[in-house]
Amino acid sequence: MRICFVTHKVIKGDGQGRVNYEVMVEAIRQGHEITVISAELSDELRNHGQVKWIRINMRKIPTLLLRYQAFALLSAIWLWSHRKHIDLTVVNGFITYARSDINCIHFVHSAWVKSKYHPFRERKNLKTLYQYIYNRLNASLERFAMKRTKHIISVSEQVKRELAGDAKIEPSRISVITNGVDLDEFYPRSMSRKDYQLDENKVYALFAGDLRSSRKNLDTVLHALVKVENIHLLVLGYTEKSSYPKLAETLGLSDRVHFLGYRKNVAELMSLVDLFIFPSRYEPFSLVVLEAMASGLPVITSSKCGAVELLSEDSAVVMEDPDDTEGLVHILNELLFNKERLKIMSKRAREVARKHTWGSMAEKYLRLIHSTR
């Protein structure tokens, strides 16, 4: 089969990009010919004999909104002119004006723009106004794209509900295929904290996410740590233009909250800590939660995170209200003094993660691709 994938990124270091990468690897393994229309493509796929790359370079276009519109138009022109050479087209959300056979949805703009946590509802300025306009436009465009595809894949049941409720898509047209995890990269391993200048006798938690956005909810974690004095927190993510380092300093947490910036050795760092804290205010899935589970970390997350659908009661603690600071304080204090529960959570988390590999995810995608043709 000649399959065309239309997406912005096909790389391992990006959530949606990693899904695209793994699906294409499986498609190649099954002998399909692949055409990729994207801005970025991993080296191993770029140089593969079964892959043809149509690169659309948008770096010189000034704003994300204009870049995506240019990509949507240019990709559509290519597809319209080469349609007879393609058997099936797979896209991500609104990414092209051309019709598709399968649309894979990782984020629902029509749901996010209605959320009480949208930046424009928290503070009104030119930046958040731009984000609001951007999301409103994409909410309309994603509905347009959904009407022009045969079948939709959502990354979680939460996303499926949002597509049905907010984007007004018929549930019968939507299949759920959750993300996967690399068990060879993320696994419990023995690491020396001394090699990372960490104290062997202290309790460490990990937070990872976009530190420029309040959506990931680091502020609730920091306020909870004020009342839980026996935990140190490692924070991963770009600190440029982030208010959180200043907030940690204001709260008197500078000696216990360690901002490590963007790091590529996330798997190693997960093996250095005792638990993972991620009470996101809105998260269609969140790959990092699955990575933490695969690393054998007890997880604290929120009901607003799509990945909770994979969690069992004894593998994680789920906060119904991500803004419940006192509730998080109670959870942390309880876990600090219940080492046996932490061990059970660690074991169960790894068991859950083992059921959700990249390989099993990609095979589900290919089965749906075959049935949609």
All domains of the chain in start order, with CATH? 2-180+357-372 (3.40.50.2000), 193-353 (3.40.50.2000)
Model pLDDT, residue 264: 87
Strands 275-278, 203-208: pairing is parallel
The closest of 299, 282, 281 to 290, measured between CA atoms, is 299
Q: Which DSSP letter does residue 94 get? A: S
Inter-CA distances, 91 with 81, 160, 240, 324, Å: 17, 17, 32, 38
The closest of 309, 299, 303, 310 to 342, measured between CA atoms, is 299
CA–CA separation, 113 and 257 (whole Å): 31
Asked if 223 and 251 touch (Cβ cutoff 8 Å), the reply is yes
DSSP string computed for 2-54: EEEEE-SEE-TTSHHHHHHHHHHHHHHHTT-EEEEEESEE-HHHHT-TTEEEE
CA–CA separation, 90 and 113 (whole Å): 25
CA–CA separation, 235 and 54 (whole Å): 37
Model pLDDT, residue 6: 97
Strand partners, 258: 234
Count of all residues that appear for the chain in the document: 373
CA–CA separation, 245 and 4 (whole Å): 43
Model pLDDT, residue 115: 87
pLDDT tens for the 373 residues of the chain, in order: 999 999 999 998 788 899 999 999 999 999 999 999 999 999 999 999 999 999 998 888 888 889 999 999 999 999 999 999 999 999 999 999 999 999 999 999 988 898 888 888 878 889 889 889 989 999 999 999 999 999 999 999 999 999 998 888 899 999 999 999 999 999 998 888 988 889 988 999 999 998 988 889 999 999 999 999 889 999 999 999 899 999 999 999 999 999 999 998 999 999 999 999 999 999 898 899 999 999 999 999 999 998 888 887 788 999 999 999 999 999 999 998 888 999 999 999 999 999 999 999 999 999 999 998 7
CA–CA separation, 42 and 168 (whole Å): 35
Model pLDDT, residue 37: 98
Inter-CA distances, 183 with 99, 165, 190, 295, 355, Å: 36, 34, 15, 8, 10
pTM of the model as a whole? 0.89
- Phi, psi for 143 (deg, rounded to 5): -65, -40
CA–CA separation, 92 and 315 (whole Å): 31
CA–CA separation, 273 and 38 (whole Å): 37
3-state DSSP helix/strand/coil percent for the chain, to nearest 5?
45, 20, 35
Model pLDDT, residue 119: 85
Model pLDDT, residue 311: 85
The closest of 19, 26, 22, 24 to 4, measured between CA atoms, is 24
**């997880």: which residue's tokens?**
299
CA–CA separation, 357 and 28 (whole Å): 18
Asked if 318 and 299 touch (Cβ cutoff 8 Å), the reply is no
Element (H, E) at 361: helix 358-372
Q: Which DSSP letter does residue 193 get? A: G
- At 281, is the secondary structure helix, strand, or coil? coil
Q: Which DSSP letter does residue 186 get? A: S
Model pLDDT, residue 65: 83
Model pLDDT, residue 95: 95
**């994409």: which residue's tokens?**
138
Query: Tokens at residue 237, please?
Result: 């993510």
Inter-CA distances, 21 with 1, 34, 38, 299, 372, Å: 18, 12, 12, 27, 20
Model pLDDT, residue 213: 83
CA–CA separation, 3 and 262 (whole Å): 34
Model pLDDT, residue 163: 92
Inter-CA distances, 181 with 187, 276, 291, 324, Å: 10, 16, 6, 29
Asked if 104 and 372 touch (Cβ cutoff 8 Å), the reply is no
CA–CA separation, 291 and 16 (whole Å): 15
